[in-house]
Amino acid sequence: MADLGFVGLGVMGGELVNRLIRKGHTVTGYNRTKSKAEWLIKAGMKWADSPRAVAAADITFSMVTNSAALECIVEGPEGILAGLAPGKIYVDISTVSPDYSRAVAEKVRAKGANMLDSPVSGSVITLQEGKLSVMVGGRKETFEKVKPILLDIGPKVTYVGGNGQALVLKIASNLSLAVQMLAFSEGVLLAEKSGISREIAVDVLTNSAIGSPMVKYRGPFVIKLPDEAWFNIDMMQKDMLLALELGRKLDVPLPSTAVANEFLTAARGIGLQKEDFAVVFDVLAKLCGVKR
C-alpha cells in the first residue's frame, strides 16, 4: 500500500481516487473546487489545501483538462513543483502537449524527483469495470516503481518510452475516437433515412465488425445522450488540435482528423460544447434534416 497524492478530482480523476482508496492506498487530494471532492473525503480521502501540500506524498498524481491547467497546478509557490523533494515521483495522467510535459519533467528532475506521463485510455464506465488501459512515458526505472499502483488503476499497463511518448500515443488513440463516432453517425443516418429505425441501426452496427469498444459504449448515445458528458466537445477538440499540431510538426497528414475536427467546431457553433462528443451525430443529422 502506498502514500499517494492526487490533484484534479473531476469526473475521471475522482473515480481514479475512489478506485485507489478501495485498493487500500492512502490518498491525499486537492481540487480547485472542494465541494466536488466531498464524496471522496467521505470515502476516506485526506484533504490538502494546495497542490504543494499534496506533493508531500511519495507519489503524486494529477489529472487536469489541458496544458494551461497543468501549468496552474505545477508552477508557482503553491504548485506541485514547490512541494517535490528528492526521491519523490510525480505522475501526470492528463492529456496535454507532449512538449510541455517534457519541459515539466525537466523541472521535476531539477528538484531531484522524477516524472512520468501516464495517460489512460477508456471512459468512466471502462474504469468502473476495471478495464482501463494505461500508457507510460519516462525513465524505465521510475516506471517499474510505479507499475504496481498503475495496475490497481487498470489491468493493461504499457511502458512506451521516454517522457512525452505516452502522450503521443494517447493523442494518436484519441483522434480515432471522433473519427469513429463521425463514421458511425454517417452509417446510422444513412440507414435511418432509408427507413430503418435508429434503434435497429444502432443495435446492428454496434454488434457488427465495426463495433469497437468505443462504438459499443457511445453508439447508443445517438438515441439518448448521457445526463453528464463522459468526454465533452471541448475536451475532444483539445485532443484533436494536439493531434493536428503534432501532425504538422512531424509531416504526417491527418485528413480524417481534420474533417472530424470541423464537426466538433460545428457542434460548438450550435452551443453543444458541453455535451459528450457523440453529438457530432446531431450536427450531421441537422445537415440531412433528421431530428434527435
Instruction: Give 276's DSSP letter.
Output: B
Find how far residue 235's CA is from the centre of its chain: 8
Contact criterion met (CB below 8 Å) for 16 and 61: yes
Identity of the residue numbered 243 = A
CA distances (Å), origin 260, targets 42, 157, 172, 222, 282: 41, 29, 14, 16, 13
Nearest to 283 by CA among 178, 174, 173, 176: 178
Phi and psi at residue 108, to the nearest 5° = -65, -45
Catalytic residue among 170, 224, 286, 291: 170
- Following DSSP, what letter does each residue of 176-237 receive, concatenated? HHHHHHHHHHHHHHHHHTTT--HHHHHHHHHTSTT--HHHHHHGGGGTS--SS-SSBHHHHH
Q: Is 170 annotated as catalytic? A: yes
> Which residues participate in catalysis according to the annotation?
170
